Amino acid sequence: MLVRCLLAVASVKLARSFSPGARFESSAQLTTAGARFESSAQLKQATRFNLKDKPGATQMSMSSSAASLDQSWSGLQTLSSRTPVGAALDAEKEARERGVGAAFVQNKLRMFDSQEAPRLTLYRDHAGWCPYCQKTMLLIEEKEIPINIELVPMRSYGDKPQSFTRKVPSGLLPALGVQTSDGREQIITESQVIMDLLDQWHTVENGYRGMMPEESDTSGQARFRQLANLERQLFSFWCNLIFRPEGPSFGGGGMISKIMGGGGSPDMSGSMQGFLECMKTVDSELASTKGPWFFDFADHPTMIDFIYVSHVERMLASCAFWKGLDLRSDEYRSKLPSLNAWLDAFEKRECYLAFKSDYYTHVKDIPPQYGPGYDGGFENKRLAMQMNVLGKDGKSWELPLSFDDELQPLYRGPPLPICVLKAAGIQGDNEQVGVEGTSYEKSDPVKMDEACRHMAAWKLASNGANVAKFAARGGPGGSKNPRKTFGAELADPYASPDEQVIASVEDALQSVCIALLAPSNEHESALAGMRNDLEANITKEKGRDVASALCYLRDRTGVPRDLPLAAARQLRAHLNAAIDVLYK
């Protein structure tokens, strides 16, 4: 594992690129079909699998000759599409292109039940980093507003196209384009203005969900304003805690001791106390309603819930990583029960999963937007949580993976798209197969593991050749970026691949893809086959260069842009298994 950490450092020095925002930014997008590439290593590996028909799909089975199988990327894509998960994702992709189907971070059209071409266009960030774009998209999804979507890079990981800056000279995201009767496009910026207008234009009387208290409800309107002010206070306390060096710690009693039910901590600074006091006030406001949301006038999240959740999500990641403060732990579930119930309720909604990042993505996307985070807080816990988030704890990105993650709960709602859970026959804790509105903590771990792997394999196979070229930026002759650098630590959208390693990286990734596609009862054999082929077909001299390329790819796997966390951790862990072999 130390070897991989050193490789990761070398990869950063070569590349300076992260993206959940920069990875697969154009031709390298994982969502486009890849080119064919044969390799002797994969033809050898191919002998391990045979296809056997099963009702509804085709399942792989280790046994007889695989001479009929095409182990190019197009062949692996076909193989993936014959699994229940792959077939479901193919159908979902086609539906999304028509503007229907489920929420997805890179959707470009949302029609819902509308038959008319939308007159609205939302310009939002490409990678799913922007909290203001996230809250706007959540409102759109919950209200089911027909809309076109244009994906635009944030300044921290790429250049904005001139077609956008001509319309929005400031470059602000999100922006809303409104088609006027004379064919022009009127541009509106500022997320709260956009959300207010979208809600006003799509009324309850016209069949859309209400997002605000009625204007005649003076107490409800007053509560909304009070909660909005509280959110700004919480944001301020968070910024003071994370983005400034912490002041002196205060042990003993005091208000925070009474509120949080403890005797104080010598590791708790004044800024942490202030943040937790404010968060406790938020918890109390949530506790004052009958349901999990801030208002009781609807059985769904409303405007104020969206205003809070995009930044609270980032607070969870940053507090764990830079302060060792886990607000989702059992300890804080008892101290902040209504906050955690609210988060659980969001995580049971598929549209929230579509825009939810993991902690790793957030600790890479927060600094270029807000400034660097400062280490502090509970040091021993912080160091352990940092190792978990960065995949350096020997568990979080390592095979065999535990069912759940120690720090980021995966199954308090659907961990994968509903179409995948249905196709895999995975039952929620309410004993129904593939539905939202329930947790999956008691689901079949074997079925879940296979579904997560198959989703990762489907995404890799769908654009394997371009993914290999992207990963090859991490080779010793790659990541040349003469044009410019960006604020995001790992962003290098203009970097070039190391041409000398592309073919070997291709071979390695095809081996990884085959291991991901193996059925559960043959997964260990497939991993052994992957290791044997890597040793046999990639020379020791070339192995370290290919390992560096795989580190580059692993470290730029973004959530939710590339995969949901439950599937992304499988891809990262399988890449690590290959890296271990190649670096020997």
Q: Does the pLDDT at position 9 exceed 70?
A: no
Predicted confidence at residue 62, as pLDDT, reads 40
336/201 same-domain check: no
120 domain-assigned: yes
The token pair that represents 473 in the structure block: 């930026």
320/451 same-domain check: no
**pLDDT digits 0-9 by tens, 295-330:** 999 999 999 999 999 999 999 999 999 999 999 999
Predicted confidence at residue 18, as pLDDT, reads 28
CATH assignment of the domain containing 453: 1.10.490.20
| Amino acid sitting at position 16 | R
499/469 same-domain check: yes
Predicted confidence at residue 251, as pLDDT, reads 52
% of the chain with per-residue pLDDT over 90: 80
366 domain-assigned: yes
Predicted confidence at residue 584, as pLDDT, reads 79
CATH assignment of the domain containing 236: 1.20.1050.10
Q: 352: how many CB neighbours lie within 10 A of its CB?
A: 24
Q: Comparing 480 with 368, which gets the higher pLDDT? A: 368
Q: What are phi and psi of 229, to 5 degrees?
A: -65, -40
Predicted confidence at residue 246, as pLDDT, reads 87
309/229 same-domain check: yes
% of the chain with per-residue pLDDT over 70: 84
362/245 same-domain check: yes
**pLDDT digits 0-9 by tens, 61-87:** 543 333 345 679 999 999 999 999 999
- Please state, rounded to an integer, the average pLDDT across all residues of the chain: 88
In Å, how far from its chain's centre is CA 55?
Answer: 32
- How much is the pTM? 0.88
Q: Does the pLDDT at position 11 exceed 60?
A: no
89 domain-assigned: no
The token pair that represents 113 in the structure block: 């039940």
501/380 same-domain check: no
SS3 call for 249: strand
Q: Comparing 373 with 482, which gets the higher pLDDT? A: 373
- Domain span including residue 313: 218-249+266-297+301-390
- Quote helix, strand, coil % in the chain, to nearest 5: 50, 10, 40
376/446 same-domain check: no
577 domain-assigned: yes
What is the number of structural domains in the chain?
3
242/349 same-domain check: yes
SS3 call for 357: coil
25 domain-assigned: no
**pLDDT digits 0-9 by tens, 508-524:** 999 999 999 999 999 99
Per the CB < 8 A criterion, the answer to whether 465 and 35 are in contact is yes
32 domain-assigned: no
Domain end, chosen from 359, 390, 421, is at: 390
192/337 same-domain check: no
Site of tokens 């993206």: 19
Of 243-252, 259-268, 289-298, 361-370, minimum mean pLDDT range? 259-268
21 domain-assigned: no
508 domain-assigned: yes
Q: Does the pLDDT at position 43 exceed 90?
A: no
Verify cis geometry, omega within 30 degrees of 0, for the bond prior to 174: yes
